[in-house]
Chains A and B, each alone.
Chain A
Amino acid sequence: MIVLAVMLIAGIVSLINSIPLSIKVIYAYSKQYVAVTPRGNPFLTPLFMKVVEEESPVELERVMVIRGSGVEVKSIVGNWPFVVLGLEHSDMDYYLDRMSSEVVEGRLPEAGKPEAVISETMSRNLGLGIGGILQKPDEAESFSPMPVKVVGIADGENWFAFTSIEYQLENHFPNIDAFMAFAKSPADQLKLDNWTEEQLAGQNAQVFTYRQLEEQADTMFTILYQILNVVIGTLVVVITLMMGMLINIFLSQRVQEFGLLQALGYTKRGLLRRVLVETTIFVVGGWFLGLAVAFGLLNLVKVVLMDPKAFALDTTDWSAYSYSLPVPVAIFVVSLVTVWVKFKKFDPVGIVERRLV
């Protein structure tokens, strides 16, 4: 029972935590750079680029012009939009490098052709191998006028997809270049991100950074987590009440035993200590067992259901496991209070005389 409750709570919270985790994992690529898309006016791109290149507070390693088109990836809560970058050929290797990745199967896309390289994570997520179609003319969310074929798969943990910039220039609108700026040292990237955001605030540009994404994910889930807290709070109360009743029944039987032992010369204190030890073992044991079962089940879920689709799930999510902590604590407290109350008005003579307590 305690095992079940702990397992349930730890499991559910882990699964729910996996949603924001997925967002962070899927869009983790944006940690590596800040992206800027000018609004409406294609002539703004070189202007903003110049600003970033000349005034950046940190040393830049590369600034590259890109295009972007849309594709959808799958998550346990439906499809999410994702970007297919159009990259200059000369930038592709650098980009792969920053993604700590390399093409392990196939090749890079040829200029102007409907060809794409996708990460191994995306390949798993979308079930696309070499020759699979990433974007199609008849798909609204993963649209391209021509079927875009996967020609290369790149390894590593990051999620990304790119075609040649030429293909996107010819086939995708709006006709505006965007650009990405990479700090020389990844440690400086956050500084560059924040600076760019500030610098271009209020101007006709949209700035994309990882921090924004993280913030959005977190605010998106605050309400969900509040609901979760209420649900788990209620669950803990219900479970504790039920356990309290069970413990009461169980202890009523043991009261006989304690009455006898007290009549034989055991002290109340010794018996209380004994109950304390037993309850502790029971509760802590149940908790650990519950956590172990939850861990086992989550791993199973991860291997069987999540990994094949590259869905993120952290099976060692301590914050999720700690959600189950109120269960053993509440049960422990209820048990002890029950025992204490029972012991307080306790006459062993009543028990050995069979006058029931």
Chain B
Amino acid sequence: MISLERVSLVYEDHGREVHACREVTLDVQPGEFLGILGPSGSGKSSLLYLMSGLKVPTSGSVHWRGDDLAGMGDEVRAQIRLKEFGFVFQYPYLIGYLTALENVLVALPGEDRVSEAERLLTALGLSEHMRRYPHQLSGGQKQRVCVARALLGSPAAVFADEPTAALDHTSGRGVMGLLNEHRGAGALVVVTHDPVMLEGADRVIEMEDGAIVS
């Protein structure tokens, strides 16, 4: 569904080249749970951004259902990210002046998905918190709102970058479990340095210094 062909990403850092990814070749299958493990700085996040079209590779190509992500226009790529992908980031970013429910609806603007959002939040144990604002929620609750936001509209792929890093172990595992449980038919790609979080993954790859080592 997503295929990476000898993808490299080079950052320019004060005139020095930083190879965040080196010639990575990888396929993500529909519906699979793919874990990406590796130490800090190994290029996990970079790989995730390349897969999800948030970054354009320096060389190589990323195809989404056969279409080159880099070759399409910004608008089309943004549209795919909006409709087909879901994202959970390391920090539970919510918009401060919107309620939990409204924050979930932000994922698909202009669509009436209130009942779906309510269903998701209820499934994630937040039925009592839908009308609360982010500052009235705990870290774990916020990250669960982010999970609901990522899952709204049943995206074909959900990307999560250290979704549990800001949480304690128990709520971290809780969030991972919910993500896996409610993703429906969508693929799930999770980046983490903690193997425990990848229980239940269909496949785990390990990265080191920008390359896949296993």
Q: Which residues of A contact B (CB under 8 A)?
A: 256-257, 260-269, 348-349, 351-354
Chain A to chain B: the 8 pairs with minimum beta-carbon distance, closest first: A265-B82, A265-B81, A352-B89, A267-B78, A260-B93, A265-B78, A257-B95, A354-B91
From A257, A267, A353, contact of B75 by CB (8 A): A267
A260 CA to B95 CA, complexed, in Å: 9
Q: How large is the interface on B (under 10, 10 to 19, 20 to 34, 35 or more residues)?
A: 20 to 34
Asked if residues B85 and A265 are in contact (CB atoms below 8 Å), the reply is yes
A270 to B: closest C-beta gap in Å? 8
Measured between beta carbons, the chain A residues less than 8 angstroms from B192 are none
| Contact B81 A352, beta carbon cutoff 8 Å | no
B54:A268 contact, CB within 8 angstroms: no
Q: List, in ascending order, chain B residues with CB within 8 A of A264's CB.
A: 81-82, 87, 106-107, 149
16 A-B residue pairings within 8 Å (CB atoms): A260-B93, A261-B106, A263-B54, A263-B87, A263-B89, A264-B81, A265-B78, A265-B79, A265-B82, A266-B82, A349-B55, A352-B87, A352-B90, A352-B91, A353-B90, A354-B90
Q: Which residue of B lies closest to A254 (CB)?
A: B95
Note all chain A residues with C-beta closer than 8 A to B91. 352, 354
User: Once the chains bind, are A266 and B109 in contact (CB under 8 Å)?
Assistant: yes
- Contact B83 A265, beta carbon cutoff 8 Å: yes
> Which residues of the other chain, B, contact A268 by a CB distance below 8 angstroms?
74
For A269, the chain B residues whose CB sits under 8 A away are 75
Q: Given the complex of chains A and B, what is the CA–CA distance between A253 and B83 in angstroms?
A: 26
Given contacts A260-B93, A260-B95, A264-B81, 16 further A-B contacts (CB under 8 A): A264-B82, A264-B106, A264-B149, A265-B81, A266-B78, A266-B82, A266-B109, A268-B74, A269-B75, A348-B54, A349-B55, A351-B93, A352-B90, A353-B89, A353-B90, A354-B91
CB-CB contacts of B62-89 with A at 8 A, as 1s and 0s?
A: 0000000000001100111111010101
In the complex, the chain A residue whose C-beta lies closest to that of B150 is A264
Residues on B facing A (Cβ under 8 Å): 45, 49, 54-55, 74-75, 78-83, 85, 87, 89-91, 93, 95, 106-107, 109, 149, 161
CB distance from B122 to the nearest CB of A (A): 22
In the complex, A268 Cα to B45 Cα: how many Å? 22
Contact call B106/A353, Cβ cutoff below 8 A: no
In the docked arrangement, what's the CA distance between A267 and B80, Å?
A: 11
Assembly CA distance A353 to B89 (angstroms): 8
Nearest CB of A to B104, in Å: 11
Contacts of B83 in A (CB 8 A): 265
In angstroms, how far is the closest chain A Cβ from the Cβ of B196? 23
Neighbouring B residues of A354 by C-beta, 8 Å? 90-91
**Using Cβ atoms and an 8 Å threshold, which residues of chain A touch B89?**
263, 352-353
Please determine whether A256 and B93 come into contact, CB atoms closer than 8 angstroms: yes
Given contacts A261-B106, A264-B107, A266-B109, contact A352 B93 (CB under 8 A): yes
- Distance of A268 Cα from B74 Cα, bound (Å): 9
Give the one of A256, A264, A268, A269 with max B CB within 10 A. A264
Which chain A residues lie closer than 8 Å to B161 at the CB level?
352
Q: Which residues of A lie under 8 Å from residue B95 when comparing CB positions? A: 257, 260
In the bound complex, residues from chain B placing their C-beta under 8 Å from that of A260 are 93, 95
CA A266 to CA B79, docked complex, whole Å: 8
- Give A354 to B55 CA distance when docked, in angstroms: 16
Closest chain A residue to B166, Cβ basis: A354
A348 to B80, CA, bound (A): 16
CA distance A262 to B89 in the complex (A): 13
Bound CA span A263–B107, Å: 10
For A267, the closest partner residue in chain B by CB is B78
How close is A294's CB to chain B, nearest CB, in angstroms? Answer: 31
| CB proximity of B109 to chain A, nearest CB, Å | 7
CB-CB under 8 A from A348, the residues of chain B are 54
